[in-house]
Structure 1
Amino acid sequence: MTDIRDLTPHMRRIRLAGEDLSRFAKFGGMHIRMLFPTREVPDPLWPVLGGNGLPVWPADDRRPVARVYTIRALDVEKGIIDVDFLIHTGESVGSTWAMQAAPGMKVGIMGPVGRPVRQAEWYVLGADETGLPALARLLETLPAETKGVAFVEIANDGERQKIANPTRIEVHLLTRDGVAAGEDRRLAEAVRSVAWPQDGSAFGWFAAEAAAAKIVREYWRDTLGLAAIRRWRLPIGGVALPD
């Protein structure tokens, strides 16, 4: 770990440094599996590659805890990976680690994991803070001619952050303003209200608390008849569907 920066009161960006990071750019390079030390296992042993190509994990008393996070930015030449962490109360290995992070600390990473987003001419995107790093990464890497609409739910105006969006996707911010995360239905309802184009290729992507993801998933699948549901391997509920 080489750098720590608070983007908002509850979003912390941590820069990781390593060698030979080119494999993390494969398959769209959206997500990694991070391996965290914990209070119970402060000095874990990292898994090694077995003869069958699968990881061989240490015994439980030396095993790190694994969680999936988004690669917010990757620079293979400089050997750095940026990962954004939502800082919040409650039982969260990643958030707890990020709050205590300091330059020089070590963490393990594996991957990349997950599937790349299907290329399309038009997108509908939705995320709360848990899915925001991935949604922001999409906005910053999709082709400039891409059209569509994106909805981002945040706690309040203090959680706004800059996203370099070169696309033609319209971004709308929704603030909960005191409503607890997972209890505000406006994000799911906003995504459900979007009229999909009748021509051209289109793709829907959603990453948020499980209750909101369930609403969107069932609407896209059961009401609109969209197919090929895929769950994103994020630490939250999520769904992505092509037309």
Structure 2
Amino acid sequence: MLSARTTVAFPRIATFLPAILESLAAHDMPVTAREDTFVAVCPFGEALLTPGRESLAIQIRAASGPELNRVRHAVTGLVGFVAKSEALRIVWAGDAVGPTFPPDLRILTVRDVQAITPRMRRVIFEGQDLARFDTRAQIHTRLLFQPEDAVTPEWPMLDDAGLIVWPGGVQRLGSRVYTIRRVEPANGLLWIDFFDHGGNGPGARWLRRAVPGDVVGALGPAAHGPKPARRILLVGDETGLPGIARILEDAPDDMEGLALVIVADESERQLFRMPKGVEIQWLLRTSPAVNGAQTPLCAAVRALDWSIGHEDLFVWVGCEFHDFRAIRHFLRDETKLPASRIVAFSHWRRGMSEEDIIAIGGDAVAA
């Protein structure tokens, strides 16, 4: 067993600790409390976080060098992102193993590209050892895109500082996070539905030229799967639609509930299997807002009958940042739905790229 440790000067640890623990849990590292220490366990190892008065002590353990560096990278990245404003200095001591390939890296090859709607493309990938992606609790993956002029694919490594080592020392690989629409481990297949928003990010550029035989890297899975419930409310835009479709197709036959999906126009509607007790309402982005809400999606959520008891209700929200923030605020502060019954997140933020969000840190995605 290998181990490493760090103690971070962290004057406002009490303020940031809840968000750090929530972020770890969302990234396949569920957390349990053990006296004054929080233990986060993942398939690659574990991290023990002990908050002090103005510090955070962290110890990590794993069975191999690649797994140790994977845990180290996850903790370094998530703590640093959540507390970006604090400019934390995270220096690791203990076992050093040198740069290693991420143990969760899978190489996927494009098998087929299909048009689902005018702006939604389904890419079916082939790959090996995909069983780890077959989980309802963690339904997202980070894809790594090779440069257009790449002849031989190259992949990043993780070092003893918890940082990414890019091929040639330069970050030429673009990356974005996507919902896993379906995974078939026995057949070696993984589906991603890409929404072409007309932008010029690395995923959009890759999608427009993707053909069978192209390769991408996939890391994960992570984040934002549904929780067990008898009734469900699903809310999203085109970027949340792959998650809504997957959740409904995986749902038990006796599930009841409602899906609210906003799209650009009628041509962006989709057909997919869902329990008979679930209704889907398609909203158009041209629809006027009502009840003082900012958008039709917020208005539709607020217009529901919230006088009905919601003890057995689970709500999943995936959409643009401003909608996400308004809807989560309404759910928590006005309906009083417990946080344990809500999974809400922003897939994107209007006017900001993922690089912009990373530069700002947790403040860019906080409600």
Give the TM-score normalised by structure 1: 0.84
Aligned to 2:283: 174
Corresponding residue number in structure 2 for 1:152: 261
Between structures 1 and 2, the one with greater helix share = 2
With over 3 angstroms needed to count, the CA separation of the structure-2 counterparts of 1:143 and 1:131, relative to structure 1, is: same
- Corresponding position of 2:178: 69
Greater length-normalized contact order (CA 8 Å, ≥ 6 residues apart): 1
Q: Aligned to 2:166, which of 37, 41, 58?
A: 58
Give structure 1 stretches of 5+ with no counterpart: none
Spell out, residue by residue over 1:163-186, the C-alpha distance to the aligned partner (whole angstroms, 9 max, x if none): 11125111101122499xxx9711
In structure 1, the partner of 2:335 is 224
Do structure 1's residue 35 and structure 2's residue 144 form an aligned pair?
yes
Q: Which residue of 1 aligns with 2:116?
A: 7
Within the candidate set 195, 202, 216, 1:107 is matched to 216
Q: Is the 8 A contact 2:146 2:174 kept in 1?
A: yes
Aligned to 2:314: 203
CA distance in 2, matches of 1:38, 1:88: 20
Cα distance in 2 between the residues matched to 1:144 and 1:32: 27
Q: Give the stretch that moved more between structures: 60-69 or 130-139.
A: 60-69
Quote how far apart the aligned CAs of 1:88 are.
2.2
Residues in 2 aligned to 1:173 and 1:133: alpha-carbon distance in whole angstroms: 14
**Residue of structure 2 in register with 1:186 after alignment:** 296
Please give the TM-score of this superposition, normalised by the length of structure 2: 0.57
CA RMSD of aligned residues (A): 2.9
Q: Structure 2: state its 5+ residue gaps.
A: 1-109, 351-364
| Offset at residue 50 of structure 1 (A) | 6.4
Question: Offset at 1:235?
Answer: 4.3
Task: State the one-letter code of the partner of 1:225.
Answer: K
Asked whether the 8 Å contact 2:324–2:346 carries over to 1, the reply is: no
Larger CA Rg, structure 1 vs 2: 2
Q: Which amino acid aligns with 1:206?
A: V
Contact 2:255 2:275 in 1 (8 A): no
Displacement of 1:230 after TM fit?
Answer: 5.1
- State the secondary structure of the residue aligned to 1:162: coil
Count of residue pairs brought into register by the alignment: 234
